[in-house]
Structure 1
């Protein structure tokens, strides 16, 4: 956003500057030069050089207004609107597209009118969510693309209309347009719309309950999306496929596709910023250390060469001086090696911190998605299932002998509701959200206890104490992961979880009487799960200590500053 604000500020500054220039007499360039300026602005926009594009656009617009060329004015307004559209400044884009349309309607440039109506339709449908207006503008665009017989633009516009109708559930209205696209896309379409076309076919056949066809089209959309560069169409394909799978009771696959949609959406929002920060930072550090090492090596090689030359020139130097020189060389060598080792260690530390930051970013993303999905399941899906069950209950109460299918449907709805509720609680435990960390940990010990292993929970702190919500969630999943490791790998019969607070830090001690392991080989056996746990604790400015011996159990101590 700071970059976009800077561009907008520069653009507004130029508006004032060129408004002042209008009052002064100046030489107006030819129409050909103004057209060239407008094309330059459009090219800069395609290269994502928005600031340069807006500057060129404003200069071209000033001259186009001076020569009163409606076609040029409309074209430049469209370019300005497209710049703001690319920067997600949709209100500004909407304003300039409308201004462009005013001038375009004074011309016979039907292709430009088609572009502007399509752009305005996109904003109405996908930003303002005013689908009826959006569809109206798409149909106006279709009129002009039909007049100029632009087959590829006709296919593209009908694809937009289909998407808009399907997005609001009006499949019968959108299907004639989909039929046309299916018939003509191979000849007039392009690779940028093939993913969306497969997704729309999947949505239609999913609506018609033709599961095999819907599955085939959704999978084609995802397969083609993974090969292409347009991640937004791929993310929507996963979202719509998730809705279809959920509708058909395939909850696991629905969840997986919803998770993939969330992941791709997060990548689309964050990958540019992360790429700039992380890659630039890493390259800067590596270049800095490489320069330092090269300088030291150059100095060392120069000193070595001087010493060799002196040895050749001074053959009659006494044995004591030669020994001294050799000693100096050895000391210098060790000093150089020590310096290089320190620099290599620094570089490794930086790489380790970068890796840890990546892991922490991944963990934070997972926890955020847990909360979102749990909230979505609890507040939306669970509520819908409950409502459906209630309606069936009212129906069966009014009919003395309800149909067997109705009874079975009630049972299936209740089972689905229970599964959604259990999944929601598994993603974000209710006890943790409502009553806090200590209630949740005590319940966690009880849930993990069974006939094979018994977990005993002990705490010196009142269970009603609450900490920061994010802190409680991180600590809960850390302990949950450690208990899960004990259950899977330790072969223990008994485990204990002891909690106390000291000097504004929470101390959690976890012990089991399992088979243990050799801590000398800890680095070798340490897995990604334990790496994640260590990274979580480091991110909380805490410490993790592990003590274990073969056949003597394992003790894990966690000390983390409290976040109230």
Structure 2
């Protein structure tokens, strides 16, 4: 569900709530708190989230002093909304929950309604925990029903229908969709009309009603283009493409998939490169699918010609028939062998598609890790340090040490350290500064605890450096393997061994855990291992896993070394 609706209604609510708060008391501290809350809201509207967070936290401190649950809930909600817009959904969830605790101690039904809606959005569309999300939506719906707010009832039921449809629970979502269809002309607005038509399209697609599904999807697209509702329009193109693919209208499905990618690029320019990679993958997928279709068509044509030839040969003499029988036997085995080769070729193509998708996803993640870590460290962290320094100079020159300046300096310093830690998590500083082997040795020490000991062994010195991207790939591969051991192996001891030999880096990770059975005819289970295998394949390396139940697991990897230029 688009955050645009949530954001617009939240801002309207915050503005109206702060206006009411001004008339509640003439107390100076109450006026100051209300003013801070209003200012924090305005800063959030202009996307100055860090400044908004500082003011809303100061207002929260005052509100707690006043023991005003309405102000406390309002400021917790503002803090949560800031983190929501920043994409830090765990923090947003934490503060939304604090907000609802205090809101439930007031008679502010509108505030409670929107906090419950916000919780529903977080759980459904960020954490993908739909049962919890729908629970909070229904709490919001109960409040909207009690206060007889028709527009909020309509909006919340639209959210519930969307959540149910997202998990393919169409029968559960249908009553809510029917309500919205019935009352939208009276209580709805243009901001939700695109989403409504898209949901109708999804429902009729589920019911295999192609004519009605097409009508609603195309109507949603037309309205989305007219109203410039790009977020819902992109979702509509995506769902329409799924429906068209389902009915085997591949050409049109591809067109709408391209439209979805284009609009998504416009909505989020920072992810433009990742979207282009996805578009490239889609092109490769279509090329491979066309190749598969050509292979199957060629096989069917050849098989049909053979049957016609066999039919004509039945008219010949017994000798010719006997000869023909030998030809048929030979042809049978020949075509069986060809069919087997074609099936293997199809499997190879599908495997390559999957590897390309996984590789593109990992490359995008690593690129984003590096870019975000660099931006946090070189820009945000530097700005915070500079701000703290300016405050220190100001305090020294003016010989003042007010509580507000002290708190502001403390907040800036804490934020600086948190951003630095986040930067190091995204791209470990040890890896960047001292190299792969130093970082892997440190990784083994970090993962060791009272339950499991990770040993490290290498015939390569810690000072050895390879290509930066190569080191980063190897680091995250080993990190994932150690993480799997911690989570699943129940081992008490594990060992990481590294060897450089003939321009190849040999990696072995061995544990004495519970192990598991390996079926040579099936692919490796676990998305993490599939990611590692795909990455090793793209690096032209080799990946092997040996495991025996109750005897532990050994993973062996060898990859060509990319030396530092």
TM-score after normalising by structure 2: 0.52
Please name the residue that 2:313 is paired with: 310
| Deviation readout 1:253-312 (Å, 9 max, x if unpaired) | xxxxxxx9999325545646864x55555444444453454344333323323323432x
Please name the residue that 1:299 is paired with: 302
| Deviation readout 1:90-137 (Å, 9 max, x if unpaired) | xxxxxxxxxxxxxxxxxxxxxxxxxxxxxxxxxxxxxxxxxxxxxxxx
Please name the residue that 2:45 is paired with: 202
**Distance in 2 separating the partners of 1:561 and 1:545:** 15
**Distance in 1 separating the partners of 2:393 and 2:548:** 63
Residues 349, 508 of structure 1: CA spacing in aligned structure 2 closer, same or farther, 3 A cutoff?
A: same
| Deviation readout 1:405-429 (Å, 9 max, x if unpaired) | 5444444333222211111111111
**Distance in 2 separating the partners of 1:382 and 1:369:** 18
| Alignment check: 8 A CA contact 1:514 1:554 kept | yes
| Alignment check: 8 A CA contact 1:456 1:497 kept | yes
SS at match of 1:526: coil
> How do 1:531-542 and structure 2 match up within 5 A?
531-542=530-541
The total of aligned residue pairs comes to: 337
**Distance in 2 separating the partners of 1:339 and 1:263:** 48
Please name the residue that 2:255 is paired with: none
**Distance in 2 separating the partners of 1:418 and 1:525:** 40
Please name the residue that 2:487 is paired with: 488
| Deviation readout 1:374-395 (Å, 9 max, x if unpaired) | 1111122222222333344456
Residues 201, 525 of structure 1: CA spacing in aligned structure 2 closer, same or farther, 3 A cutoff?
A: same
Q: How far is 1:502 from its partner?
A: 0.3
SS at match of 2:384: helix
| Alignment check: 8 A CA contact 1:231 1:264 kept | no
- Unmatched segments (≥5 aa) in structure 2: 1-41, 57-74, 86-117, 126-158, 160-190, 196-223, 233-263
Could you say what the CA RMSD is over the residues aligned between the two structures, in angstroms?
4.0
Please name the residue that 1:128 is paired with: none
> How do 1:40-51 and structure 2 match up within 5 A?
none
**Distance in 2 separating the partners of 1:357 and 1:418:** 37
- Unmatched segments (≥5 aa) in structure 1: 1-198, 236-259
Residues 262, 430 of structure 1: CA spacing in aligned structure 2 closer, same or farther, 3 A cutoff?
A: farther
SS at match of 2:46: helix
2:467 is the counterpart of 1:453: no
TM-score after normalising by structure 1: 0.52
| Alignment check: 8 A CA contact 1:500 1:508 kept | yes
> How do 1:449-528 and structure 2 match up within 5 A?
449-520=448-519, 523=522, 526-528=525-527
The structure with more radius of gyration = 1
**Distance in 2 separating the partners of 1:451 and 1:372:** 36
Please name the residue that 1:558 is paired with: 557
Please name the residue that 1:414 is paired with: 413
Greater mean alpha carbon deviation, residues 394-403 or residues 336-345: 394-403
SS at match of 2:444: helix
Residues 415, 521 of structure 1: CA spacing in aligned structure 2 closer, same or farther, 3 A cutoff?
A: farther
**Distance in 2 separating the partners of 1:359 and 1:477:** 14
Please name the residue that 2:173 is paired with: none
2:350 is the counterpart of 1:360: no
